[in-house]
Structure 1
Amino acid sequence: MGKFSGRRALVTGAGAGIGRGVAIKLAQMGAEVFALSKTEANLSSLKEECPSITAITIDVSNWEATREAVKKITPIHMLVNNAGTVKLQPFLEATPENFDLVFNLNVKAVMNVSQIVASDLITRQLKGSIVSISSQAGQRALKDHTVYCSTKGALDMMTKVMALELGPKGIRVNNVSPTVVLTKLGREAWSDPAKANPMLARIPQGRFAEVEEVVNAVVYLLSDESDMINGHMLPVDGGFLAA
């Protein structure tokens, strides 16, 4: 029997990177896992790697389609809002199109999925835990990250309000706030020393985060061991926010 046996988990953006790592880890720990992604090829390879996972192809930025898809798989005891995107532009060049796109996925979609999951848990009088993937960028300004930083700041405050309102109903809500994470995309994006070194110099531990380190933090916040932790942003940043 795994730690999460008998519990149902939903992970958005589960096809690659952190979301994929979380989905596999939760399945290994006994949870019944539902993996959402808009990229069918990624979900197919995830199923090959971990056949027990139920894959659902959906773009979570589509409000109504997502609501219908999530309603069909409730109850969900553990929700991980991982789907997100980033579009880098200097402040003076930030466009309304990118603003809408990034806020729609990084903030609005989290509200949407969390509403369905939490409402159902309350109706069934079940406890639950919601963890969203935020970023150090929610608490520290980063050049060319105007829109992205703003979405993560908004996500952090949404989490606090959710914790305030849902805590009395038995649902805890927290965020994990990583530094740069060495996913496949992360390695590519930060492969240039000219870009990476200034960021590394601001991290006391002198390195970026591995996917497993973020996964471990998510699992902790989903578990009963963190039962008195609610409304917090847990940095996985090697001390970036402390410096």
Structure 2
Amino acid sequence: MNFEGKTVIVTGAGKGIGRRTVELLTQRGAKVVALSRSQADLDSLAAETGARGFSVDLGNAAETRRITAEALPADMLVNCAGINILEPFLEMKDESFDTVQAVNVRSAAIVSQVFARDLVARKAKGAIVNVSSISSFLGFRDHAAYCASKGAMDGLTRVMANELGPHGIRVNSVAPGITLTDLARVAWEAPEKGGPMLARTPIGRFAETEDVAEVILFLLSDAAAMLTGVTLPIDGGFLAN
């Protein structure tokens, strides 16, 4: 997949799946505009990949809208930013729920709206990939706010695909299972925690960040020209078991 001449905005670009997505995009010719809360992460990413960075608090709607406008124009968008606050449902705080929805769903809606309005105004085609989770399909304990946010993201993806398709803008989402980011690796490689999940995974391993990033690039590319409104699990068969 070649992205020469394309500019791609990636949110949540500082770490994990977002960072690997930026690395692969730049290796394949794209110019990347990276959005992250951490200026240190943006600085290291710029040094490694040449990505142009914007520090932004995606929980702040007005700031998100302003920074996205500054990041334009672009041809493609990856909404990868996400947070989680673990709380049992009976103890879940209002502010926890609101914070998770603001970052995981509302920011994706805002960034996508600003991005898509610009494409429509320029009569340009484009593609958006939202990073969801298998938590959209499953009710993991202590993940009420997170599961709700990912279900909402998949619903948002379908509406955006329906409304933006006539403008030549495709919108899909990916739903990773357990993905071994630096933080996740520490937790899930412990046999007592990861063992039961691996036992339900036909492929027999957890995803690496590159496994997810490669699918994101596929959905952005012209190879996926007839795909829109799809939520694609990247879970090694976990949901099939």
TM-score, normalised relative to structure 1: 0.96
Q: 1:85 aligns with which of 83, 86, 97?
A: 83
Instruction: State the Cα deviation string for residues 192-222 of structure 1 (Å, max 9, x = none).
Output: 3222122212211121101110010000000
Match of 2:29 in 1: 30
Letter in 2 for 1:77: D
Partner of 2:2: 3
Deviations 1:6-29 (A, max 9, x none): 111000010111100011111111
| Deviating 4+ runs (over 3 angstroms) | none
RMSD: 1.1
Correspondence 1:50-199 to 2 at 5 A: 50=49, 52-199=50-197
Instruction: Please identify, of 106-115 and 25-34, the stretch whose mean Cα deviation from structure 2 is larger.
Output: 25-34
What amino acid is the match of 1:242?
Answer: A
C-alpha separation in 2, matches of 1:212 and 1:195:
23
- TM-score by length of structure 2 reads 0.97
Question: SS at 1:209's partner residue?
Answer: coil
SS at match of 1:72: helix
Number of matched pairs: 241
- Aligned sequence identity (%): 49
1:70-92 deviation line (CA, Å, top 9, x unaligned)? 11222221100000001111111
What is the distance in 2 between the residues matched to 1:101 and 1:65? 15
CA distance in 2, matches of 1:70, 1:151: 21
State the SS of the aligned residue for 1:75: coil
Specify the alignment match of 2:203 in structure 1: 205
Residue 44 of structure 2 aligns with which residue? 45
TM-superposition CA deviations, 1:136-190 (whole Å, max 9, x none): 1101221221111111001001100100000111000000100010010111232
Equivalence for 2:240 = 242
- The alpha carbon displacement at 1:99 in A equals 0.1
- 3-state SS of paired residue (1:213): helix
Stretches of structure 1 that go unaligned for 5 or more consecutive residues are none
Which amino acid is 2:13 matched to? A
Match for 2:209: what amino acid?
A: V
